[in-house]
Every structure is written in structure tokens, then in C-alpha cells.
């Protein structure tokens, strides 16, 4: 192996062919242009108050991490997992509690930012009213559809009861 010469030109040619086969034309590639696995590059989104409010709501609802996650398995595996959990609890439980405190503070800070932005944009009272009206319109339509279905089902029940009565009279 020490006697073998490494042909760097051949290796470089293989690398160039590999680059061409992937569709890259320049040798001076920008790292932002190349994807790695399934990870896309971050693109800053346009601001959306409703999306921010939704994300703040999600952050608030998921701020607590439960140390005692359910364990799967059974028998000896489950027993071993429980023993390991007991031994790890003195170290892990305070970390989980610290994380929960941090998550709560972050969720509250995000809620304050959301409130500040909402206030700066003149409040979203008009949008809320529009959303509430749209919601009520949808609910009213659903209620009407359900009422129609109930009436049709009641008519079918009456027809079935008549047929049963006729069959009992014949029988």
C-alpha cells in the first residue's frame, strides 16, 4: 500500500463528475444552495398575527414536560425501566422542573409580545368580530343541516313503523 501512488487527478475528475451528475454547474458552490438530507434552509416567513397567536397558544398549552412518561413493554423490561427511572429521578426531576419553569416564562413572554403587537396594530377586535361572525355562520349552517337530517330520519322511522305495523297485521 505504501508503494501505491495516489492519482489525485483521477480523484478530482470523479468528484467533478459527481458534482455534474447532481446538477451543480459551478465549482464555487454556496452552502445555502445545497440541501443536506431532509432539512430545508430556514426562510423567514411573513408576519401573520393569527399564526403568531396560534403558536403562542400552542407554546402555552405545551409548556409542561411530564417527567413520568408512560412506559411500554412488560415483564422484566418494564421492571428494569422502572428501576432505572427511580435511580435517575434525583438527577432528572430537577432538570425537568427547571425546563418547565423556563417554558412557562417563555410562553408568558410570547403572550406579552403577542398582546403588544395586537395592541400596536390597533387591536384585532374587528377581526375577532369577523371571525366570530364567520364561526357563527358556519355553526348555523351545520345546525340547519343537522335539523334537516333529523327530520329525514324521523320520516324514515315513521315509514318503518308503518311497515312493521302492516307486517304484524298480516302475520
- Put simply, whether the predicted model's pTM sits higher than 0.75 gets the answer no
48: left (phi over 0), alpha (psi -120 to 50) or beta: beta
Band of pLDDT at residue 10, cut at 50, 70 and 90? confident
Q: For residue 70, what is its C-alpha cell?
A: 408512560
Asked if the structure places residue 61 within a domain, the reply is: no
Asked if the structure places residue 51 within a domain, the reply is: no
The values of phi and psi at residue 49, to 5°, are -60, -40
Asked if the structure places residue 42 within a domain, the reply is: no
Report helix, strand and coil shares of the chain as percent, to nearest 5: 70, 0, 25
- H helical segments located in 65-124: 75-120
**pLDDT tens, 93-147?**
899 899 989 988 998 888 888 888 887 776 655 566 677 788 888 898 889 988 8
Which of 50, 59, 61 is closest to 134 using CA atoms?
Answer: 50
CA distances to 9, 16, 34, 43, 54 from 29, in Å: 20, 12, 8, 19, 38
Asked if the structure places residue 122 within a domain, the reply is: no
**pLDDT tens, 29-40?**
566 665 555 555
What is the residue range of 159's domain? 137-171
Q: How many domains does the chain have?
A: 1
Asked if the structure places residue 156 within a domain, the reply is: yes
The values of phi and psi at residue 47, to 5°, are -70, 135
Asked if the structure places residue 123 within a domain, the reply is: no
Asked if the structure places residue 166 within a domain, the reply is: yes
What is the percent of the chain with per-residue pLDDT over 70, rounded to a whole number? Answer: 81
CB 100 within 8 Å of CB 63: yes
The values of phi and psi at residue 70, to 5°, are -60, 145
Asked if the structure places residue 152 within a domain, the reply is: yes
Amino acid at each position: 500500500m505504501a508503494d501505491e501512488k495516489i492519482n489525485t487527478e483521477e480523484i478530482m475528475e470523479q468528484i467533478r463528475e459527481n458534482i455534474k451528475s447532481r446538477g451543480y454547474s459551478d465549482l464555487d458552490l454556496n452552502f445555502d444552495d445545497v440541501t443536506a438530507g431532509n432539512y430545508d434552509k430556514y426562510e423567514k416567513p411573513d408576519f401573520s398575527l393569527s399564526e403568531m397567536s396560534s403558536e403562542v397558544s400552542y407554546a402555552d398549552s405545551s409548556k409542561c414536560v411530564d417527567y413520568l412518561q408512560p412506559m411500554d413493554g412488560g415483564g422484566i423490561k418494564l421492571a428494569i425501566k422502572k428501576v432505572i427511572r427511580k435511580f435517575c429521578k434525583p438527577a432528572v426531576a430537577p432538570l425537568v422542573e427547571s425546563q418547565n419553569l423556563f417554558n412557562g416564562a417563555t410562553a408568558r413572554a410570547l403572550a406579552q409580545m403577542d398582546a403588544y403587537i395586537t395592541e400596536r396594530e390597533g387591536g384585532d377586535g374587528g377581526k375577532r368580530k369577523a371571525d366570530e361572525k364567520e364561526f357563527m355562520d358556519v355553526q348555523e349552517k351545520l345546525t340547519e343541516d343537522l335539523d334537516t337530517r333529523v327530520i329525514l330520519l324521523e320520516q324514515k322511522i315513521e315509514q318503518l313503523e308503518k311497515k312493521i305495523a302492516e307486517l304484524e297485521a298480516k302475520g
